[in-house]
Amino acid sequence: MNSPPSLYRRAAFRWLLSLVAVSAFTLLSGCDRLPGFLNPGGPIAHAQREHLGFVILMVMIVVLPVLVLTPWLVWRYRYSGQASYRPRWSFSKLIDVLIWGVPVIVVGVLSVVLWQKTIALDPYKPIESDKTPLEVQVIGFDWKWLFIYPDQGVATLGRLILPTDRPVSFTLTSATVMQTFFIPALGSQIDVMNRMVTRLHLIAEREGDFMGRNIQYNGEGFYKQQFTTQTVSQNRFDTYIDQIRTQGHTLDQGAYALLKAQNTWKDVANALSDDPPPPAPMVAFSQVPDGLFHAIARHQPVDWAGLAESSDAASNTSERAIQERNTQ
């Protein structure tokens, strides 16, 4: 008995889907260690990967006929062949409707999804969660990133420690030329510029070490401007922060001069002859001048005097106020 044609079509569609899934799987299988968003570590990268698959499938509606029909046309209408020859035929209304119409529909569908996804995955949009977001201030130096945890009053270099399942709210600027902050497995990249403040929201859904880096060329040490993003449970996170608070360096003028120099975080670590607390390797700062981020972003003098008796609470409130002003 013949099955109805729609069943055939559905079967063919299912086969196509499984083909795509299998090839995607082979690409990813055994590749837990694959860097990048194809092996996502958070919902944003997940959504980006999904959207990529959707766009590829949609555009294939237009591209696949080109890939298949072009070789066929060359063969079918070859010079030595016997296919029909109509040298004056140069227009068909029906075909024209088709070749304009199909791309219009495809782009239409893509546009609707693009609009929704662009707004849903906007890096400036805070991530909805019942937990309060962790604030992290990121400062790009020449060939290293400084991560300040204003609520905790500490800072790190070379390693970004984040709790899982808790939104992270980044506030970013550059102390030098333009660069771009990027943790592919967690989500979007964002440019950082001197005298400007940009924002980024990410969340990690599993524990692990993820590659993070600068992806905008900024000179000789660009290729070394990488860091490890380590995602841990909230308890672990708190332990690490406590250890940094008790065992870290003070980010004083000497240390700051090291940061301003053109070098990598490993050079800074060597210069401080550091013995950092776990999770090494990194550079840990137990004390950060009040409003350091603000001072760098706005080209204002850094308040070194308050370093000794800095109180976390005071600095937090002032930072918050600045951030809110910036986002408006």
Near other proteins in 43-102, by CB under 8 A = 45, 47-48, 51-52, 55-56, 59-60, 62-63, 66-67, 69-71, 73-74, 77-79, 83-92, 95-96, 99-100
- Note whether 25 binds other proteins by CB under 8 A: no
Q: From CA 199, how far away is CA 138, in angstroms rounded?
A: 10
Residue closer to other proteins by CB (options 121, 307) is 121
Question: What is the distance of C-alpha 149 from the center of its chain?
Answer: 19
Question: Residue 205 Cβ, how far from other proteins at the closest point, in Å?
Answer: 17
Residue 298 makes CB contacts below 8 A (sequence gap 6+) with 195
Q: List the x/- string, 155-184, binding to other proteins by CB under 8 A.
A: ---------------------xxx-x-x-x
Question: Residue 225 Cβ, how far from other proteins at the closest point, in Å?
Answer: 10
Q: From CA 43, how far away is CA 186, in angstroms rounded?
A: 8
Question: Residue 321 Cβ, how far from other proteins at the closest point, in Å?
Answer: 20
Question: What is the distance of C-alpha 145 from the center of its chain?
Answer: 15
Of residues 210-229, those binding other proteins (CB under 8 A): 211, 213-223, 226
Torsions phi, psi for 113 (to 5 deg): -65, -40
- Note whether 264 binds other proteins by CB under 8 A: no
- Note whether 24 binds other proteins by CB under 8 A: no
- Note whether 13 binds other proteins by CB under 8 A: no
Nearest Cα residue to 83 out of 70, 69, 73, 68: 73
Q: Are 285 and 255 in contact (CB under 8 A)?
A: yes
Residue closer to other proteins by CB (options 110, 272) is 110
Question: What is the distance of C-alpha 1 from the center of its chain?
Answer: 54
Residue closer to other proteins by CB (options 143, 240) is 143
Q: Are 196 and 171 in contact (CB under 8 A)?
A: no
- Note whether 281 binds other proteins by CB under 8 A: no
Residue closer to other proteins by CB (options 70, 318) is 70
Q: Residue 249's beta-bridge partner residues?
A: 285
